[in-house]
Structures are given as structure tokens and as C-alpha cells.
Structure 1
Amino acid sequence: MTGLVKENIKIALGSIKTQLLRTILTIIIIAIGITALVSILTVVSALENTISSNFSMMGANTFTIRQYELEVRIGNGGRRGEREIVNPIISYPDAKTFKEKFNYPFTTTSLSFTATPGAQVKFENKKTDPEITVLGVDENYAANSGLEVATGRNFTGFDIENNNYVCVVGSDFEKGLLKDVNPIDKVISIRGAKFKVIGVLKEKGSTFGNSQDLRVLIPIQIARSVFTQPNINYNVSVMVDKKELLDAAIDHATITMRQIRKQNPVEDNNFGIVRSDELINQILSLTKVLSASAWIIGIITIFGSSIALMNIMLVSVTERTREIGVRKALGAKRKTIAFQFFTETIVIGQLGGIIGIILGITIGSIFASVLEFDFIIPWMAIIAAVITSFVVALVSGLYPAIKASKLDPVEALRYE
């Protein structure tokens, strides 16, 4: 049986050489469908990996209190002519009071806000472009946000309570402004205020083109005094040490925040509470649309390639009618003839699949690199491509193989 398979593969490759142009065109059509499928699935896999790695650092036991839920709700179902509900911002008194009152067991509360997304930082006679994000934070921010200090130390409660002019910088500072120097205890300037560097964060990379390492963390009260602006929306995050207490902690946080906002029992919450795992699931659900699009595009293209493959095999059967007659006259059985043509179809299909996989991964990795996603080898896409190309060859080669096996040897020998 093994010898027969090897012989059929040799015959298939020989036939491919004699019909090189038609075969190349068929392989290209199959490859285009597989390329479209694999490239999109590669980008989707890279996107999912990026989202998971960036949000998993927050942990599944973290939730945030924000101005809105994941989606802005519209009054009474959002019927035409009705006013959109506008929730008040999370003000500093709200956030500070919540941290003081929320005392649920095994929880840690953090307050923070984005002071500016475009600050210029100076060190001695050097300065950065105005692209540094400055965050006002407390001592719990790093732990609740999944940040790690690679060099030096994090803020302490003493730093925050005494408004010490200290800061923790992102890892990119070691490659730029503080390159070739020990950053610890160096003094940098932001808007004229001088801060001593006490720590450097572990590298996080980029998310959707935005570097997570071009940032400076400073004590929240100092940030409020240096960056004075109206209507600052503060972030409140709560980390629960025990997962089984997460739902109860959220309920307790909801009650606490409603009391702070002085809401009546019949009123809806005028704030949102978002769990980190819920946020991940919401975002990852969007990638399913891209995956579905990949399959639709791939199936349409592959459907066309399967028709082309079937046609080329039917033409091959017609052109090799005398050859089939000779083989049958020499004792070849119907299943042997059918297996020969079937093997030829499988070879063409797999060649198209291999080329499509290579092109798909290449194109997908290029797009992932441009979009700054974390590329991983898309094994599911590769498996899907191999199975798809095999099914295309299976369906396309079945009818031509049966037709070839049923040819009458006498009529085949008389065919011109």
C-alpha cells in the first residue's frame, strides 16, 4: 500500500509538470483563499494575545469605579427625542471619600488620574518630546494596575501622605533621557517642579501604538497642584485578594458609592462598576467578528478554487483517456485509477495550502508588527488551513476520480 501511494504521488507530480500553467493557476487560487484566512486569523490571534497580556496584568479580581459602564446607557431604551443620561464625573471628593469609607475585608483601593498625556520632562541639559504621560497616583496604584518596579522602589504611604516630590518612571527613560546613568536618585523636572526618581517600572511595551513605558508616576496631591484643571475625572480601582469575595465586594462598593452620591433607593446608579475580566471579555468578543469575516472571505475564495481544481482534474481525465485505457488493459483496477487521480488532487490542494499558510503568516505578522500587536504562531489558523485545503481537494477530486475509474477500457483506447 505504501508503494502504491509513493507511485501515485510520483505520477501526480509528473502530471503536474505536464500541465504546469493550469496547475500553477489552480494552486494560486487555493493559496489566495488560504492566505486570506490565515492572515486575518493571524492578526486576530495577535490581537487577542495583546489584549489578554495587557489586561490580565490587572488580575481577574480587580474592578474599577468609573463615570459610565462599558456602554453609555440611553434613557428609557434610547427612543428618539429622549435625552441621553449624563453621569457626573468621579470627582476627587467622591474618590477620596470612597477610599476612606470602603473597608471591605481583603480589598485594596487605589486612586489615580491622568494629569496630562503630553508632558515634556527635563534632566540636566536634556529634555524629551512632549509625549510623556504623567499620572497622579497613590501607594496602591502599581499593585492594583499590575505594574512591577524593576529598579528602585515603589511609593510608600509616607511618600503620599507627606507629598514628597518623588516619582517612578517608565522603562523607556533608561533608553532615552536617563540613558547611561543610574536613574535612581536623579532629579527630573516636569513643568518646573523637580522630582527625585525612586524607581523604574518593568517594561510593558505598547498597546495599539501607545507606549506604556513613556510615563511618570507622581504623588496624587502633588499632581493636583502642578496640573490644575477643572472637571478632573478620577479613577478608583479595587483589588480583592480572594476571588470568592469579588461579587460581595462589588455589591458593597455599589452601596458605598450610592451613599457618597446621596442617591435615592429608586434611582439608577449614576456611575459604573466594571470588572477587569468583564472588560477583557467585552473586548475579546469583538475579535469574533474578525474571525467570522476571515472564514467568510476564505470560504468564498476557497469555493472558487475548489471549482477550478475540479475543472482542471476533469480536463486531466479527458486528456489522459488513452493512458487510462492502457492502464486498465494492463490490469489496473478501478480503485487504483481512482486513487491515482485522487492523490493528484490532494497533492495540488496541499501545495496551495502550504503556499497559502506561508503567505498568510507572513502577511499577518507584518500587519501585527505594524499595529504593534504581540505576535504568536497561529497554530489554530494553520490547522484550519490544512484541514480546509484537504477538504477542498477531497471534494474537488472525488468526482473526477470516480469518472476516470468508470471509463470503459475499449472506448478509452479508441479515444483520439
Structure 2
Amino acid sequence: MFSLFKENVRIALDSIRSQLLRTILTIVIIGIGIWALVGILSAVKALETNIAGNFESMGANTFNLQRYEFSVQSRGGGQREKINPVINYNDVRRFVDTYEYPKTNVSVSFVGTATAEVKFESEKTDPEAQIYGVNENYLDATGTNVEQGRNFTLFDIQNNNKVCLLGSDFLKNLFKNDDPLGKIISVRGVKFKVIGILESKGATFGNNQDLKVLIPIQAARGIFTQPNINYTISVKVDDKQYLSGAQDEAIVTFRNVRRLSPVEENNFGISRSEDLVNQLAEIGTILNTAAWIISIITILGSSIALMNIMLVSVTERTREIGVRKALGAKSSTISTQFFIETIVIGQFGSIVGIILGIATGFAFAQIFNFDFALPWSAMIWATIITFLVAVVAGSYPASKAAKLDPIESLRYE
């Protein structure tokens, strides 16, 4: 049995070599369909893993008050339906003073700049460091840990101490051979003492989370005085069962801060990390569906091409089939031979598509600094799909070859 299978595979490979150009074109067509499937699913998986990890690091018990909701409906021309005012410092201060829901901590932050140059003695970074003004609850609300040193204290924030926390990438450039704790760095001419190093969080869409400096919010406001600075308010609830109540209370409080009447809509957004992850999952589902549709359409075309190439092969090898039948080959043997040949071509296309798909997903992950994981499910499905396509595409040619009359086949020129 095995020897017969081995012989059929050998004959299939010989046949493939004899019609190499047509076979390569068919393999490429199948490969493109599998490439679309595996490549898109690889990229989507890397995207979901990275962004979901970043959102979930905020914690399931955290929600944000921000200028807009996570998704904003747009009018034609790309303009927003509604322009919300920025969350300014007066809004933040009134909210913090009046929001008193139990078992919650309020974090306040803003991005001073994303193009700062940080100096230490004679060393300095490229102008791409991000400077954040934060309060003492920022790390807890964003799920960030201190790897070395300590976090800000309430005393640091209230007394506007010139201290800072650094992202882990500063250990690679500013402090290659030094212990950074206790050292003095300079940001826009203002000196800060390093009290802690944050654990690495990687990058999202090229935005390096490890090249940032956190400084007390009042110190940041003294350095960055541009108009219309937009603040973010994050509320961390100690127990998830209080999350809904804390969120409702925050909405009421901020509506009062904005002096909105009961009939007016909110002119700010509120979002939870869970909501963002769920919306991301919905987007991922749409992209996965698109990948399947593209691949199915392409594979359908490749199945037709594969069937045609096998029909041509049957026609070209009519005399050979007649000789085999005259020598005693059964119809089932002839049929099996063509089936195996079709399956071999299909699996070659599957291998090419899987390799290209993995390469595409890996390149996507490298470009955006995502963690890459092999899409095993997509690879398994790709193998199954190409096998089924080969079976379907090879059925008619194999049946036609098996039904050929040996005498008429021997007369074929």
C-alpha cells in the first residue's frame, strides 16, 4: 500500500516537472489566497495582542474622562459632528475637589511634549522624549510599575518637588554605565532628580512607551505653557463592583463642572479599558472576516485554475493512461494518481502561502514593534482548505482519466 502511494507521489512529481510553468502559476495563485489569509490573520493577531495588552494594563477597574469618546462619528469631509472643548486645568481642579466617590483614586495627567531633549551631564537624547505631567496616582491608574526606586508621593506633588521618573530606555542612552537613581537630568533647562525607573512597556504604532519622563503636574505646567492643553482624568476603583456607580458619579460631577443643563448632551467622553478592548475585538473580527473573504475568492479562482491544469494534463497523457490500463492498471489506480498529483500541487501552494503569510505578519510586527505569534489556527485552516480545494478540483479530471477507454487512448495522437 505504501509502495503504491510512494510510486504515485513520484509519478505526480515527474508530471509536475514536465509542465513546470503551468504548475508554478497554479501554485502562485493558490499561494496568494493562503498568503492573504495567513498574512492578514498574523498581522491582526499581533495588533490585537499588543493593543489589548496595553489597554488591559490600565486595569479592569479603571475608566477615563477625556475630550472625546473612543470612536467619534464623522460628517462628510472628515469633520466631527460635535467639537468638544478641551479638558483644561480648571475642569480638572474642580473635578478633583468635588468628586468624592468612596474607594477611588483620581489620576490627572497631560502630555507636555513628545519631542523633548533630555540631558545628563554631557550626554543628551535625541529630541523624541515624551514629557508627562502627572499626579501621585498616575502609575496605579495606568498599570505601570516602578522597576527601580520609588513612585511619586503626595508630598512630591503638593510641594512641586523637582523629581522625575524615567522610562527604561534612558538606561540605554543617558545612563549606560551609571546608576540613574539620584542623578540630575535637565528638561528644557529645568533640573530634576531621578527617583525611579519604570518597567518596560514597549511601543505602540511606533510610539515608544519607554522613552518618557514623568514629572509632577505643577512643575510640568510651569514648563509647558501652550494654550489649550488637554488633560486626561483617570479614575481607579478599588473593587470592580463599585465601577458602575463610580462611573455614573463621575459623569454627574463632570457635567456639573461643565455647567451642563439636564437637556444638554455630554461634551466630553468616558471610556473603560474593557470597552476599548471589546471595540478592538470587533475591529479584529471585521478584519478576520475580510481576510477569509479575500482568501476564499482567490482560492476559488485557484481551484478553477487547478482543475484546468489537471484536465490539460489528462488530455496530454491520454496515451500514457491507455498504456497503463493495457498493462493492468485499475481505474481506481489511475484516479488515485491524478488525485495525489492535484493534492501535491495544492499543498505546494499552501506551503508557499503560509511562508509568505508568516513573513508578512512578522514584518508587520517588526515595523510597529509588536510581539509576533505564529497564527497556528490560520496555518492549520490553510492546510485543510487547500486539501479540500485539491480534492474538489481534482475530482472531475481524475474521474475523466479513470473512465478513458484503453483502446481509444492508445490510438490518441
Task: Answer whether TM exceeds 0.5 for this pair.
Answer: yes
**Equivalent residue, structure 1, for 2:200:** 203
Instruction: Give 1:345's match in structure 2, choosing from 337, 342, 360.
Output: 342
Structure 1 letter corresponding to 2:364:
F
With over 3 angstroms needed to count, the CA separation of the structure-2 counterparts of 1:327 and 1:241, relative to structure 1, is farther
**Equivalent residue, structure 2, for 1:280:** 277
Structure 1, unpaired ranges of 5+: none
With over 3 angstroms needed to count, the CA separation of the structure-2 counterparts of 1:26 and 1:290, relative to structure 1, is same
CA contact (8 A) 2:133 2:215 kept: yes
| 1:395 matched to 2:392 | yes
CA contact (8 A) 1:69 1:272 kept: yes
**Equivalent residue, structure 1, for 2:139:** 142
* TM-aligned CA deviation for residue 3 of structure 1: 4.4
CA contact (8 A) 2:134 2:214 kept: yes
With over 3 angstroms needed to count, the CA separation of the structure-2 counterparts of 1:62 and 1:406, relative to structure 1, is same
* TM-aligned CA deviation for residue 230 of structure 1: 2.3
Give CA deviations for 1:44-63 in whole Å, capped at 9, x if unaligned: 22222221222221122211
Note the aligned Cα RMSD (angstroms).
2.3
CA distance in 2, matches of 1:171, 1:389: 46
**Equivalent residue, structure 2, for 1:85:** 82
Please give the secondary structure, in 2, of the residue aligned with 1:229. coil
**Equivalent residue, structure 2, for 1:50:** 50
1:404-415 → structure 2 map (5 Å cutoff): 404-415=401-412
User: Which deviates further from its counterpart, 160-169 or 297-306?
Assistant: 297-306
With over 3 angstroms needed to count, the CA separation of the structure-2 counterparts of 1:84 and 1:39, relative to structure 1, is closer
With over 3 angstroms needed to count, the CA separation of the structure-2 counterparts of 1:363 and 1:250, relative to structure 1, is same
CA distance in 1, matches of 2:352, 2:83: 54
With over 3 angstroms needed to count, the CA separation of the structure-2 counterparts of 1:279 and 1:322, relative to structure 1, is same
CA distance in 1, matches of 2:385, 2:215: 54
| 1:180 matched to 2:184 | no
| 1:116 matched to 2:121 | no
CA distance in 2, matches of 1:369, 1:164: 39
User: Which deviates further from its counterpart, 284-293 or 116-125?
Assistant: 284-293
1:180-259 → structure 2 map (5 Å cutoff): 180-259=177-256
CA contact (8 A) 1:66 1:271 kept: yes
1:18-97 → structure 2 map (5 Å cutoff): 18-72=18-72, 84-97=81-94
With over 3 angstroms needed to count, the CA separation of the structure-2 counterparts of 1:31 and 1:84, relative to structure 1, is closer
* TM-aligned CA deviation for residue 287 of structure 1: 3.7
Structure 1 letter corresponding to 2:27:
I
CA distance in 2, matches of 1:83, 1:274: 18
* TM-aligned CA deviation for residue 260 of structure 1: 2.2
Instruction: Give 2:356's match in structure 1, choosing from 355, 359, 370.
Output: 359
CA distance in 2, matches of 1:409, 1:83: 74
* TM-aligned CA deviation for residue 188 of structure 1: 0.7
**Equivalent residue, structure 2, for 1:16:** 16
CA distance in 2, matches of 1:40, 1:73: 26
Please give the secondary structure, in 2, of the residue aligned with 1:175. helix
TM-score (norm 1): 0.92
How many residue pairs were aligned? Answer: 412
Give CA deviations for 1:252-307 in whole Å, capped at 9, x if unaligned: 21112122222222221121111112122334433444434433433343233222
CA distance in 2, matches of 1:386, 1:328: 33
CA contact (8 A) 2:129 2:211 kept: yes
CA distance in 1, matches of 2:154, 2:400: 82
With over 3 angstroms needed to count, the CA separation of the structure-2 counterparts of 1:242 and 1:229, relative to structure 1, is same
| 1:268 matched to 2:265 | yes
Instruction: Give 2:312's match in structure 1, choosing from 312, 315, 320.
Output: 315
Structure 2, unpaired ranges of 5+: none
CA distance in 2, matches of 1:83, 1:205: 32
TM-score (norm 2): 0.92
User: Which deviates further from its counterpart, 201-210 or 36-45?
Assistant: 36-45
* TM-aligned CA deviation for residue 330 of structure 1: 4.0
* TM-aligned CA deviation for residue 79 of structure 1: 10
CA distance in 2, matches of 1:234, 1:377: 39
CA distance in 1, matches of 2:313, 2:80: 69
CA distance in 1, matches of 2:344, 2:373: 28
CA contact (8 A) 1:12 1:344 kept: yes
User: Which deviates further from its counterpart, 269-278 or 284-293?
Assistant: 284-293
| 1:291 matched to 2:288 | yes
* TM-aligned CA deviation for residue 233 of structure 1: 1.5
